[in-house]
Amino acid sequence: MSVTRAVSLLTAGALASALAVAGVASAPQPPRAEAAPSDQVYEVKYVKTVDGKRLRVEIWRDTSYDARKQPVILTYSPYNSLSEPQPAMDSVGETFVPQGYARAVADVLGTRGSGGCWDYGGPKEQQSGVDVVKWLADRPWSNGRVAMIGGSYNGTTASMVAARGSDVPELKAIVPIAGISRWYGYAYGDGVRYFLNSKVPSDEGFDTPLAFDFGFAKTVAADPMGQDFADNMRDRAAECGAVEHTGEGYSRNPDYDSFWRQRDYRKDADDFRAAVLLAHGWQDYNVKQEEGTQLFRNIPVDRPATRAVEGVPFKLMYLTQGSHSGATSGEQWNGLLARFFAKTLKGEGTGIANEGPVITQGRSFDGAGQFTVAADYPLPSTQTTRLWLREDETLGTSADRSRGGHVASYTETGTSVEEAPLVNGLSYRTEPVAEATRLVGSAMFHAEVRVSSATMHLTPVLVDIAPDGSTKTIERGFLHLDYRNGLDANRPATGRWISATVRLLPQDYTVKEGHRIGLRVQSSNTVWSVPGNPGTVDVAEGRVPDVTLGSSLTLPTVGAPATFR
């Protein structure tokens, strides 16, 4: 999804890295079993969609399977200009075409060979995806069952079509890899505009929507022939909503309005009917991991005992310690994917519906750990540990009620970074943990604060502090304080005490015995987000008369609450 490479992505030199970002390289890649050349066909077709426009679809299949009817594995992508001239001949096709699946790749509305305007994930893009699925299911060689797969934007399109539910019964399975489930959450962390990162700086999404409005949404197919090419050239010259996209995508006060509600597939999770194999990287700095975990939580599973269909037949979530372009790889994922398609598209009894449903790889101070399996997310054994901010810069298990009225303050200048010593902020730490403590999910910072300006932020960072004093970030959070009571409208509150809860981005992390848990309270994290206004911030530590018992931190601890030496 990152298009910082907006110019270089359109050159041959960036092809390999771009394909990884687009998720094309996420499929298994065993040695290819060649069919006879005469049995293989590669077709370019056009499908009529919204506003009378036509979508370009490319299909690779082995015709020797036609008599038995073939299921279709589809990717609906804006990135196909990067894989000219035959984008369907990718690693997914190389793996599954010899097994009797047809491989299809379609250009997103308003990109490459498809007509119309790029819709930034909006209703027309959603409907066009539905139209492609239905058309593929209706081919004479098709068995009527279609799956969608892809990484980043290509996984997002899978979720957007699945959200149409009963409108598209032909969609039997989706594999969204590092996909967006809510476009507002891709651009903003509770009102704070994401921007860059210090881990993989080129892998971020600040250039969306700009690099689509003025990059991929201006591409045309490499075969300049026929009426479609001429029509697409005219479409590319149109404004296509770029002004609205820019205003919504880069606002300092971004209300969650009708524009964003139209691009929220998570709100429609009750309508999902396709089986789901969702994959995401805990270290994804582009499409934040919450886009996957929250979608998984919201998707209901059908109850066979009832006559009504309440959800999907089954769902699985596969979480690794990979980043945006590395959420899936290896034999474990390859086998999972093969069994998933065999079950959902061919009806084979692979046992996949009884696996997982949550497969997650943990991490600690020393790096990635083993995969574990859980019955749900959040993990059923999750407890909570609540820690209170104290005047002596510690985190304690009980509120400090002995000396009321203590307030800590700092001046925010918009320059704080989590990678440097904290200057404009506050720092707290626990005693060493008595035993290894696993955190899975989102920590919650419950802040009682008073700020001097509107459009100020809270960007807390949870850290692991080793015995030698070195630190590692566990997870980070973002909140535009004017949206503390909801994203529908900004509500400034200056000069008075307010309550604000920051939900940090989730992780699977184990704090080792003898390490401490630390909290950095700050109002900017400039390597990761656009800062808000400068000003002063007062934070309640302990009882403030007639206001609060204080500010606190809640940790999602697995198995039991955390204990400390």
The DSSP code for 164 is T
Cα–chain center distance at 409: 35
Give the pLDDT band of residue 545 (cuts 50, 70, 90). confident
- pLDDT value of residue 447: 97
- Name the CATH superfamily housing domain 382-558: Galactose-binding domain-like (2.60.120.260)
In this structure, of 140-149, 195-204, 277-286, 377-386, the range with the lowest mean pLDDT score is 195-204
The DSSP code for 514 is T
> What are residue 545's phi and psi, to 5 degrees?
-50, 135
Residues 176-231: tens digit of each pLDDT: 999 999 999 999 999 999 999 999 887 888 999 999 999 999 999 998 877 889 99
Determine contact, residues 464/472, Cβ cutoff 8 Å: yes
Q: Which are the contacts of 225, defined by CB distance < 8 A and separation ≥ 6?
A: none
Cα–chain center distance at 193: 15
Does the structural domain 8-374 have CATH classification 3.40.1210.10? no
Mean residue pLDDT across the chain: 92
* CA dihedral for 127, 131, 132, 137, sign (positive or negative): positive
Give the span between the Cα atoms of 437 and 556, in whole angstroms. Answer: 10
Determine contact, residues 528/201, Cβ cutoff 8 Å: no
| C-alpha pair distances (Å), 37 with each of 40, 96, 354 | 5, 16, 38
Give the span between the Cα atoms of 59 and 90, in whole angstroms. Answer: 11
Same fold, 8-374 and 382-558: no
Q: What is the pTM of this model?
A: 0.92
Q: Which residues pair with 279 in a beta bridge?
A: 177, 318
Determine contact, residues 70/101, Cβ cutoff 8 Å: yes
Residues 489-499: tens digit of each pLDDT: 999 999 999 99
Q: Give mean pLDDT, residues 524-529.
A: 96
Q: Give mean pLDDT, residues 296-325.
A: 95
Write down the domain spans for the chain. Answer: 8-374, 382-558
pLDDT tops 90 at residue 27? no
Helix (H, G, I), strand (E, B) or coil at 326: helix
pLDDT above 90 coverage of the chain, percent:
86
In this structure, what is the dihedral angle of CA atoms 382, 559, 377, 511, given to the nearest 10 degrees? 90
